[in-house]
Amino acid sequence: MGSSRSRKKPAGKKSSKQAESSSNRTILIAATAIIGVAILGVLLYLGLRPEPEIEGVVTFARPSQGHELNLDIPYGELPPAGGVHDPVWQNCGIYDEPLNSAHAIHSMEHGALWVTYQPDLPADQIADIVEHFRGQTFTLISPYPEQRSPIVLTTWGVQMEVDDIADSRVDRFVERYRLGPNTPERGAACTNGIGDPIG
């Protein structure tokens, strides 16, 4: 009759194994939580850290956004980076003639990048500029009379002068400022305005 009884494990051994298992589980949960918090902290730091400055970038105080018909803006040493402009924007694309700044400013108000170059640059340099930006949206490319630098990149309220389109800062400027944070009317049209781009 004694054989019908089931054997029970000593209570002390069971409690010890349960305690060890519970302790291991607690350590695992704590380690996972610490790693998770550390990863979250790194991601937050990287996301909130300001982007490094791009050398040579000039920003302008909030340009006015008024419209004025038949506005004539004289050419200067640099293209305007905003301000009062024509109510009709310039169609984005490649131009081989100087643009009316009043229309180009309106395109920049919509987020366009205006890449201007000295009209007397060698043909191969102009071709490099055109090829660098060919097919990119929200981009105007044109010669600019009296410009002091070989190439100037301008968006609303922001500008940078460079000597060569291969300058490593060019793509960083484009990525940061075309349709960037300074754009008053981001994403408004850059087509169905004025002008017939050649590309």
Each residue's pLDDT tens digit, 130-182: 999 999 999 999 999 999 999 999 999 999 999 999 999 999 999 999 999 98
Which one-letter DSSP state was computed for residue 67?
A: B
**pTM check: above 0.85:** no
Give the C-alpha separation, 105 to 130, whole Å: 20
| Whether 36 and 67 share a structural domain | no
Asked if residue 89 belongs to a domain, the reply is yes
For the stretch 24-36, pLDDT in tens is: 788 888 888 888 8
Asked if residue 186 belongs to a domain, the reply is no
How many structural domains does the chain have? 2
Identify the burial level of 72 via C-beta atoms within 10 angstroms of its C-beta, where 0-12 means exposed, 13-18 middle and 19 or more buried.
exposed
The amino acid at residue 137 is T
Could you give the percent of the chain with pLDDT greater than 90? 60
- Is there a contact between 138 and 89 (Cβ–Cβ < 8 Å)? no
Asked if residue 107 belongs to a domain, the reply is yes
Residue 15 binned pLDDT confidence (cut-offs 50, 70, 90): low
pLDDT of residue 5: 55
Q: How big is the chain, counted in residues?
A: 199
Asked if residue 2 belongs to a domain, the reply is no
CATH code of the domain covering residue 119: 3.40.30
Asked if residue 3 belongs to a domain, the reply is no
| Whether 130 and 36 share a structural domain | no
What domain range is 134 assigned to?
58-177
- Is there a contact between 79 and 152 (Cβ–Cβ < 8 Å)? yes
| Whether 141 and 89 share a structural domain | yes
| Whether 142 and 83 share a structural domain | yes
Q: Which residues, other chains included, contact 133 with Cβ-Cβ below 8 Å and sequence gap of 6+?
A: 94, 115, 139, 141
For the stretch 56-111, pLDDT in tens is: 999 988 778 888 888 888 888 899 999 999 999 999 999 999 999 999 999 999 99
| Whether 62 and 86 share a structural domain | yes
Residue 119 binned pLDDT confidence (cut-offs 50, 70, 90): very high
Q: Reply yes or no on whether the pLDDT at 8 is more than 70.
A: no
